[in-house]
Amino acid sequence: MNFFKTGILLAAMTALFMACGWMLGGEGGIIIALAVAAGMNVFAWWNSDKIVLRTYHAREVGPGHSLHGIVAQLAGNAGLPMPKVYIIENDQPNAFATGRNPENASVAATTGLLRGLTDMEVAGVMAHELAHVKNRDTLTMTITATIAGAIGMLGSFAMFFSNRRNIIGTLVVMFVAPFAASLVQMAISRSREYEADRIGAEICGHPDWLADALYKMATGAATIENPEAEDNPATAHMFIVNPLHTRAMDGLFSTHPPMGERIQRLREMAGQAPAARGGPWG
């Protein structure tokens, strides 16, 4: 089903990109935009995860790092291939997963997450990210970030193509296209976060670990800036909690469900959860 959703998403983004091309250059603009969009879609399919990781200056860590050990045990619980594990130098406690399929997945956590949360809470967070991998959400999430960001850049570049004949089209591209791209991005169902919370709680065996982590992360994300996310708001939906809060337009990129509702659902799961299965991560 997620491959179908991704196909629809790519088609919508391509159509929007072509519409921008027509507004700027008429029929010739459509042809150019189609060629660019086709190349961009292929590139995004294979390289969007690398682009996102590079955007956040993520560095890969190996078996000697404690986070790698946590992820390895959780991946075993989930029956998933071992993903690559990355660290992001950022004080905001946050994390995301990326990759086109479980065999090519990566998970990333900020240094703020590792410093501010207990090992059990970190395990809850990484279990949530592995749930996204298991559900194959990461393909849609990562491609959306790449293409929505490209359309936003097109709006920024539109001013360089303005002239008296296409001034209206230029204005539309500059102001409407980035907003339309954010709407397509927000079409990613918020229910995916609820589902990842549920499955993540099952993977680690302790819903309260993730509930406690979300509370701390929401508090931290609301007060600590994430400069890379603020500069690249089209990637905000990838994080477990919304990393944006310092700029006026940040609300347009809110794709996360209410944190209170997420925590409440996990607390209810914890009250019904069976006894722990043993081992440090359940």
Query: Is 129 an active-site residue?
Result: yes
Cα-based torsion angle of the residue sequence 211, 274, 132, 265 in order, rounded to the nearest 10 degrees: -40
The token duo for 154 is 């097109």
Nearest to 88 by CA among 111, 113, 55, 115: 111
253: left (phi over 0), alpha (psi -120 to 50) or beta: alpha
Compute the distance between CA of residue 227 and CA of residue 244 in angstroms, rounded to an integer.
9
- Spatial separation of the C-alpha atoms in residues 239 and 207, rounded to whole Å: 19
Taking CA atoms, 137 is separated from 39, 213, 234, 265, in Å, by 23, 21, 16, 20
Do β-strands 84-88 and 95-98 pair in parallel, antiparallel, or remain unpaired?
unpaired
Residue 57: which region, alpha, beta or left (left: phi > 0; alpha: psi -120 to 50)? left
Beta strands in the chain (DSSP E): 59-61, 84-88, 95-98, 106-110
Active site residue: 129, 195, 228, 268, which one? 129
Token pair for residue 120? 């059990």
Q: What DSSP letter does each residue of 29-75 carry, written as one string? A: HHHHHHHHHHHHHHHHHHHHHHHHHHHTT-EEE-TTSHHHHHHHHHH
Active site residues: 129
